[in-house]
Amino acid sequence: MVLDDDLDEIIESEYKRAIEILDELGMIEYLESKYGINYKVPELEIVEDGPFIAKYSNSKKKIIFSKGSIEREIDNQLKFLGYEGIKRSISDIQGIEHLKYWKYNYHSNIEKYSKLFENEISFSKKPIETTDNLLEYSNYKGKRNICYLNKSYNSILLYPFYINKKNIIEAIAESIIRSIKFHEFWHSFDRSILNKLDKDFTIKDRDYLLIILNDHDNRELRASAFEVIMYYLVTGLYKDEKGLVAAYSNIPTCREYIEEMNKLEKDEHKRIRVPYDLGFCYGNIIVAKYKSSLEENIHNIIDDILHLDKEKAIDMIKLYGDNLEWLLYNKNSNK
């Protein structure tokens, strides 16, 4: 798949918008005031290919995007949606009227929640066996069309994205870039705070923050949580009932994921991905918890992420995974 200049334009546009959003939310000003940091917004660099979709370079003070890796991820997501044997470029797929979405299967203890989701995602006693039996066509007449991609390494975590009248390639590209850019921005926040902590002995909770910021797994967990939360916020999906379907439906999967973590962490290849998935799970919990009040509580949420570690994330996932009914029906669950 070759996206050429179109992909450059999407990356540049999304990057510019990310900076605008962070400024509009007062997030940079808030972090500078709270920790006394002099935050420098990273520059954007786009490379043809690399072993990453995006990464933050502290030495260069840049966030670097790899077009080759983005294109491969678009291919992966197209396969996830069931598109096979098609020529994949932005101009090739236009005006899709019937969009694929996932019918997610869970255990019987959450079948009762299916009515709340208006059959957008159906629940059954049969656990997932293959991806083929999960695909179904849907046409949201007169509404903003939503598809669900997979946001996970060791499991299947759904995240929504709007299609509207765009072609699906461009929509997927925007979604990938829109989420990962905030992951890398969080790494730049962490690095700025860590640099300040090294010099300033008066900062509250300094010793604890130094421990979690110097731990690679905790850094990836925090960045992944921020990625999910900001993705929902900037897209407006946290206000969309169909958008929230994915966040709610991921919670039982996350609860089961906790029970599998010991086994995953013993697998050398899967272990390194656990912090990412744990962060994605925490992010989904926060989106489902705050719902339409996500933006007005964003500074409180940032404070929580700043002090987030593995143990706190696991406790939160267990709490809401075991009390999903309360989370679903309590409109003031953010209190």
**Within its chain, how far is the Cα of 94 from the centroid?**
26
Distance separating alpha carbons of residues 19 and 188, to the nearest angstrom: 13
Please, which pLDDT band fits residue 89 given cuts at 50, 70 and 90? Answer: very low
Please, which pLDDT band fits residue 147 given cuts at 50, 70 and 90? Answer: confident
Q: Find the range with the poorest average confidence among 142-156, 167-181, 256-270, 279-293.
A: 142-156
Contacts of 175 (CB under 8 A, 6+ apart): 149, 159, 161, 231
Q: Return the pLDDT at 299.
A: 95
Distance separating alpha carbons of residues 69 and 254, to the nearest angstrom: 26
Strands of 62-66's sheet in order across: 43-47, 62-66, 54-57
Taking 90 as the threshold, does the pLDDT of residue 267 lie above it? Answer: no
Q: Which of 142-146, 158-162, 275-279 has the highest mean pLDDT?
A: 275-279
Report how far apart the first and last C-alpha atoms of the chain are (Å, whole number). Answer: 47
Query: Which segments within the chain are labelled E, that is strand?
Result: 43-47, 54-57, 62-66, 99-102, 135-138, 146-150, 158-162
Q: For residue 292, what is the DSSP state?
A: G
Is the Cβ–Cβ distance between 288 and 334 less than 8 Å? no
Q: What are 3-24's pLDDT values in tens digits?
A: 545 899 999 999 999 999 999 9
Q: Find the range with the poorest average confidence among 114-118, 178-182, 193-197, 239-243.
A: 114-118
What is the chain's mean pLDDT, rounded? Answer: 80
- Predicted TM-score of the model (pTM): 0.82
Q: What are 44-63's pLDDT values in tens digits?
A: 999 999 999 999 999 999 99
Q: Find the range with the poorest average confidence among 4-18, 118-132, 202-216, 256-270.
A: 118-132
Distance separating alpha carbons of residues 279 and 281, to the nearest angstrom: 5
Please, which pLDDT band fits residue 271 given cuts at 50, 70 and 90? Answer: confident
For tokens 């003031």, the residue is 332
Q: Find the range with the poorest average confidence among 44-48, 59-63, 147-151, 229-233.
A: 147-151
**What is the mean predicted confidence (pLDDT) over 152-162?**
87
